[in-house]
Amino acid sequence: MIKRLSNSILALLAASALLCAGNALAANKAGTYVQGHYAEFDDSDNDGFGIAGSWMVREDIRLFGEYTTMEFSDMAVLGGGYRLFADDQWYFELGASYQDFDLDDGGPAVHGLVDYEPIPDLTLTGKLEYLMYDEVDDQLVVGLGVDYAFTPEFSAFFSYEEQTDISANMGRLGVRYAF
């Protein structure tokens, strides 16, 4: 278990470095960052840790990835998003990704994302996602999150997602470094 975890962490760090390589753009609500998080899936003992990153390729296009390793399963996500609108308080994005659960059961997903900053340094997030996994029925995912920036670079976040059709959920608590 320890060897698998250490190999997973090394792979995650390498993937994040590649994902965030190049010219970093100014940080924004869904900008260029790396993050580490604790995750719990489905209110069970299936918990673990993950790493994720996002890179703004242009001011309206971002690429993102995540790898989370848990006690009974792993999850990997690679995707991109197109910014529809952004100002000082709002950020709207449509995107697509490929998600692989347990590294053998994956499929495409499409999502809509809204970030709102009601006061400086506090961002609230809402997400609606449609998953099309190979081995199970298609799933609708509803997600909510909160992010508090202690500095322009460092923030802490909590997110919660519910897969409505199978009543599965995932919570994440972590820290983020924005470039």
Per-residue pLDDT tens digits for 48-62: 999 999 999 999 999
Average pLDDT for 114-126: 96
State how far the Cα of 170 lies from the Cα of 179, in Å rounded to an integer.
27
SS3 145: strand
Mean of all residue pLDDT scores within the chain:
83
Task: Check residue 155 and give its pLDDT.
Answer: 97
pTM summary value: 0.78
State how far the Cα of 46 lies from the Cα of 15, in Å rounded to an integer.
23
How far from each other are the two terminal CA atoms of the chain, in whole angstroms?
A: 33
CA–CA distances in Å: residue 176 to residues 81, 85, 151: 19, 23, 11
Domains of the chain (ranges, CATH numbers): 2-178 (2.40.160.40)
State how far the Cα of 173 lies from the Cα of 120, in Å rounded to an integer.
21
Cα maximum dimension of the chain: 45
pLDDT at 78 over 90: yes
Q: Where are the beta strands (DSSP E) in 59-138?
A: 61-70, 74-86, 90-101, 105-119, 122-131
Name the residue among 113, 115, 111, 112 with its Cα closest to residue 123. Answer: 115
Task: Check residue 29 and give its pLDDT.
Answer: 56
How does residue 43 score in pLDDT terms, banded at 50, 70 and 90? low
